[in-house]
Amino acid sequence: MLSEHLLQGTNVKLTACTPHDIPVMLRWYQDDNLLRLLDALPARPRSENGLAEWISNHQKATDSFLFGLRLCADDTLIGCIELDGILWTHQTGWLAIVIGNAEHRDKGYGREAMQLALRFAFYELNLYRVQLTVFGYNHRAIALYEKIGFTREGVYRECLHRDGQRHDMILYGILRPEWEARCAQAK
């Protein structure tokens, strides 16, 4: 018997992204400081049409999933989680998260959302490995990933040039047995 809500935790839940979410998301994707945490490409604000296309592409894709991250208490959209680049044959995929507004950061929502996304990846999609990259200057994200149990697997040394300085991009990965062992210890 299934005992847990697959996509809902105590404080946050993962839901479909819809066109109704675009006005909220548009504000996040105009914040150049946030954009510089998410992508190695130059910070370029997204348009309403660009966000609509992004959501639509995920809805049609067979190798990616895009979730809205909402508060359970009032259904407020606070972020997004993306599982993409899934290689079904190898049971691997890439994970990314964004918490859009600063007031929703450092409250444990990101950690809970990542756990939900990993549960979905490992138990629903039957993935074996989930990986992600993070820029060396994103200390908050690095601390989160390591706390969840991701292993630092490699470094793309000085691959990013921002504000006249070189920065590393770090590769993290977690395997299903590692995640399951950590979940068992937490109980």
HSE (side-chain half, CA atoms, 13 Å) at 105: 10
Q: What distance in Å separates the CA atoms of residue 167 and residue 40, rounded to the nearest whole number?
A: 10
Residue 94 and residue 84 in contact, taking contact as beta carbons nearer than 8 Å: yes
Packed helices 139-148 and 109-119: angle between N→C axes, nearest 10 degrees: 50
**Residue 36, C-beta contacts closer than 8 angstroms, at least 6 positions apart:** 43, 162
Catalytic residue among 123, 145, 156, 172: 145
Three-class secondary structure of residue 139 per DSSP: helix
Q: For this structure, is 156 an active site residue?
A: no
CA distances (Å), origin 100, targets 26, 30, 31, 38, 156: 10, 10, 9, 11, 26
Q: How many other C-beta atoms can be found within 10 angstroms of the C-beta atom of residue 168?
A: 15
CA distances (Å), origin 145, targets 23, 53, 152, 169: 29, 29, 9, 14
The catalytic site residues sit at: 145
